[in-house]
């Protein structure tokens, strides 16, 4: 989704902005632009549809723009097509003010009508241009930039992270935030603003996160931050301790491939520090044992793959805790009048910690009296900061749009949380608990074993990459696993695919099975293995080609029915999805590779979905 970077310092701004934008490319975008302010040439702006390299070529890597102060943007179209004109920055009519914006201005039509009635002529179809034009309009009236910024912020509705450059202010730019992430970076003789830390981490690790309603005036020698009333405030600084190389491709063909291979280590980092002397320790949790015992119901709320983690969690947590666990898509939850009260714990899952629907669901749940526990990968992100408790997954930066290692670490952390609660509530036997703990300890090594089977998966992908439609079928945990497997395939290979609970096929979908249809049958949930075999036979009888996944102990049984069998090691049944997902991710990856798709940046998708 859209990305913002701003710089002010002693060096030429444009090359720094372009480099920052390059590090935001992974978020997904369709056009890019920069505005720079220089002592000789004043406010200069360049923007272009397409990849960043198009813009970079236009400005010779930034060398044709002059000035040590600037803002840059990658746009993911919402209002108006992806084209040069709709790209950001947008200018006020007198071209004295340039604005970049992430988010959506919901009342832009009404403001646009007002401005048109005042003689303002619009260039683009975007909601963002109203911010630039309204700001220019107020500024022309008063000549007071900060006063005009506040007037604009009071008038616009919706979500925004804004970067604002004014031709009359040669040493500073302004940033503002509401419901869209924005952070400030403090360098040596320079300052930054960015929507995502990856854009500036090579320049500084000293950052602070802007809160809703805050406005910052960013200068080379420091940043002043004001609250919604215009009063100065002190910001808490955070230190980013990421390994920069984790956000680099490091010789791998794609980030997604690298991140698939990183999963054993990511899971090890997430699990090991929380396993001590045979106990699960969540020192970061402020929930008391008494509160954990008192909850009568759990909700899991998330989007996309994080929602699929919740689907696995429903089966596993209900099994362990024997209380109802409802899983809801965040975009549905927020408008569904959900049955949440003070007896409900709401578990919110998000890799980025910035997904707008998930954030809105969190606020809705809190307003209804629920307590919020979040599972988040990005430290300091909005969801992490707003939740009552946060458990971090230690997957490290995930760059590929299609999540892999973040999904795996979310999954294992939710399993651990379920077991932790179950031990406190006394709803799991000592013996069962021991077997799960043993499985958790062995999981990274088992994942490594699964990764060694890559070639076989690549071979299967080369046989089936030409299919137009793929079905994933499974029961119970395998159904939940199928949902994520199917999403992986469709998002990166653009093949139509659906996940079905095997038992549900005969209620309609089996009509789509015809000779040559590819069905991926998931049979890692061994308690229902025989039922899955029956469903496989049903689709084979209708001519489907079947690729099956099962555990090593059931390989021979599966082979009697299906020639193409992939296996994962046997572990405790609740942990099987953590192993089963790896061959499915690899299958999707190799299929997309064969089809020549843009694997790390699939069309129309964004890494962090900050619009509704
Ligand atoms: O950052 P989040 O976990 O909140 O993101 C949720 C979804 O947008 C995300 O999982 C999306 O479905 C991925 N592209 C899937 O690979």
**Same domain, residue pair 189 and 321:** no
Which residue intervals of 494-567 are DSSP H helices? 529-541, 555-559
Give pLDDT, residue 30: 85
**Same domain, residue pair 271 and 390:** yes
Cα(383) to centroid(ligand 1), Å: 14
In a domain, 31, yes or no: yes
**Count of domains forming the chain:** 3
Is the predicted pLDDT of residue 528 greater than 80, yes or no?
yes
The token pair at 219 is: 């200068």
Boundary of a domain, candidates 208, 224, 241: 241
Residues 396 and 243 sit within 8 Å (Cβ to Cβ) = yes
Cα separation, 522 vs 196, in Å, equals: 37
**Same domain, residue pair 391 and 466:** no
**Same domain, residue pair 175 and 259:** no
The token pair at 372 is: 């919020």
Q: Is residue 607 annotated as a catalytic residue, yes or no?
A: yes
Is the predicted pLDDT of residue 355 greater than 70, yes or no?
yes
**Same domain, residue pair 210 and 286:** no
Q: What is the position in ligand 1's atom list of the atom closest to the CA of 402?
A: 16
Ligand 1 pocket test, pick from 1, 302, 306 with the greatest ligand atom count within 8 Å of Cβ, gives: 306
Cα(31) to centroid(ligand 1), Å: 22
Pairing of strands 469-474, 496-501: parallel
Quick: pLDDT tens for 560-611.
999 999 999 999 999 999 999 999 999 999 999 999 999 998 888 877 777 7
Quick: pLDDT tens for 382-437.
999 999 999 999 999 899 999 999 999 999 999 999 999 999 999 999 999 999 99
Exposed e or buried b per residue across 487-513, where buried means at least 16 C-beta atoms within 10 angstroms of its C-beta? bbbbbbbbbebebbbbbebeeeebeeb
What is the CB < 6 Å shell around ligand 1? 303-306, 350-352, 355, 358, 401-403, 487, 491, 605, 608-609
Q: What is the position in ligand 1's atom list of the atom closest to the CA of 403?
A: 16
User: What pTM does this model have?
Assistant: 0.80
**Same domain, residue pair 11 and 108:** yes
Quick: pLDDT tens for 238-275.
988 777 666 677 788 999 999 999 999 999 999 999 99
Cα separation, 191 vs 207, in Å, equals: 10
Q: Is residue 560 annotated as a catalytic residue, yes or no?
A: no
Cα separation, 203 vs 200, in Å, equals: 5
- List the domain range (segments joined by +) for residue 520: 454-594
Is the predicted pLDDT of residue 487 greater than 80, yes or no?
yes
Q: How crowded is the C-beta side of 381, counted as CA atoms within 13 Å?
A: 29
Pairing of strands 222-226, 215-219: antiparallel
The DSSP letter of residue 210 is P
Cα(305) to centroid(ligand 1), Å: 5
Cα separation, 94 vs 39, in Å, equals: 18
Give pLDDT, residue 244: 66
**Same domain, residue pair 378 and 459:** no
CATH of the domain at 509: 3.40.50.10490
The token pair at 419 is: 């077991």
Q: What is the position in ligand 1's atom list of the atom closest to the CA of 308?
A: 10
In a domain, 82, yes or no: yes
> Helix 129-142 vs helix 145-155: angle between axes, to the nearest 10 degrees?
140
């Amino acid at each position: 989704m859209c990305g913002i970077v701003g710089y002010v310092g002693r060096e030429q701004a444009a090359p720094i902005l372009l480099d920052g934008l390059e590090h935001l490319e992974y978020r997904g975008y369709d056009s890019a632009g920069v505005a720079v302010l220089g002592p000789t040439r004043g406010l200069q702006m360049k923007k272009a549809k397409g990849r960043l390299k198009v813009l970079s070529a236009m400005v010779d890597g930034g060398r044709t723009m002059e000035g040590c102060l600037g803002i840059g943007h990658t746009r993911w179209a919402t209002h108006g097509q992806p084209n040069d004109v709709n790209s950001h920055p947008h200018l006020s009519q007198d071209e004295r003010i340039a604005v970049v914006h992430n988010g959506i201005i919901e009342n832009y039509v009404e403001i646009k009508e007002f401005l048109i009635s005042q003689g303002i002529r619009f260039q683009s179809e975007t909601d963002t241009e109203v911010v630039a034009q309204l700001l220019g309009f107020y500024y022309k009236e008063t000549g007071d930039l900060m006063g005009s910024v506040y007037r604009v912020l009071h008038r616009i509705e919706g979500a925004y992270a804004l970067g604002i450059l004014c031709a009359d202010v040669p040493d500073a730019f302004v940033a503002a935030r509401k419901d869209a992430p924005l952070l400030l970076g403090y360098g040596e003789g320079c300052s930054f603003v960015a929507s995502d830390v990856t854009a500036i981490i090579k320049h500084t690790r000293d950052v602070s996160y802007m809160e809703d309603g805050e406005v910052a005036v960013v200068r080379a020698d420091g940043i002043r931050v004001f609250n919604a009333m215009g009063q100065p405030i002190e910001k808490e600084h955070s230190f980013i301790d990421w390994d920069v190389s984790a956000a680099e491709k490091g010789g791998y063909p794609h980030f997604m491939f690298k991140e698939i291979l990183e999963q054993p280590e990511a899971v090890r980092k997430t699990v090991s520090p929380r396993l001590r002397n045979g106990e699960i320790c969540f020192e970061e949790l402020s929930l008391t044992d008494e509160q954990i015992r008192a909850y009568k119901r759990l909700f899991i709320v998330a989007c996309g793959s994080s929602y699929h983690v919740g689907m696995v969690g429903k089966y596993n947590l209900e099994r362990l805790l024997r209380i109802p666990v409802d899983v809801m898509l965040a975009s549905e939850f927020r408008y569904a009048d959900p049955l949440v009260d003070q007896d409900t714990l709401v578990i919110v899952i998000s890799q980025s910690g910035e997904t707008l629907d998930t954030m809105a669901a969190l606020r809705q749940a809190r307003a209804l009296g629920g307590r919020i526990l979040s599972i988040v990968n990005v430290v300091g992100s909005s969801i992490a900061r707003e939740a009552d408790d946060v458990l971090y997954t230690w997957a490290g930066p995930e760059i590929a749009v299609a999540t892999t290692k973040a999904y795996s670490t979310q999954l294992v952390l939710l399993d651990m949380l379920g077991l932790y609660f179950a031990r406190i509530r006394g709803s799991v036997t000592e013996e069962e608990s021991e077997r799960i703990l043993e499985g958790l300890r062995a999981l990274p090594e088992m994942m490594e074993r699964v990764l060694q089977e890559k070639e076989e998966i690549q071979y299967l992908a080369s046989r089936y990459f030409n299919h137009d439609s793929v079905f994933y079928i499974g029961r119970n945990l395998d159904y939940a696993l199928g949902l994520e497997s199917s999403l992986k395939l469709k998002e990166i290979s653009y093949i139509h695919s659906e996940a079905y609970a095997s038992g549900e096929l005969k209620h309609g979908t089996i009509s789509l099975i015809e000779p040559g249809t590819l069905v991926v049958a998931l049979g890692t949930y061994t308690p229902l293995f025989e039922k899955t075999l029956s469903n496989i036979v049903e689709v084979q009888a209708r001519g489907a080609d079947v690729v099956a996944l099962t555990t090593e102990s059931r390989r021979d049984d599966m082979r009697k029915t299906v020639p193409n069998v992939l296996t994962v090691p046997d572990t405790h049944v609740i942990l099987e999805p953590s192993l089963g997902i790896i061959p499915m991710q690899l299958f999707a990856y190799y299929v997309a590779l064969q089809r020549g798709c843009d694997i790390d940046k699939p069309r129309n998708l964004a890494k962090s979905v900050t619009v509704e």
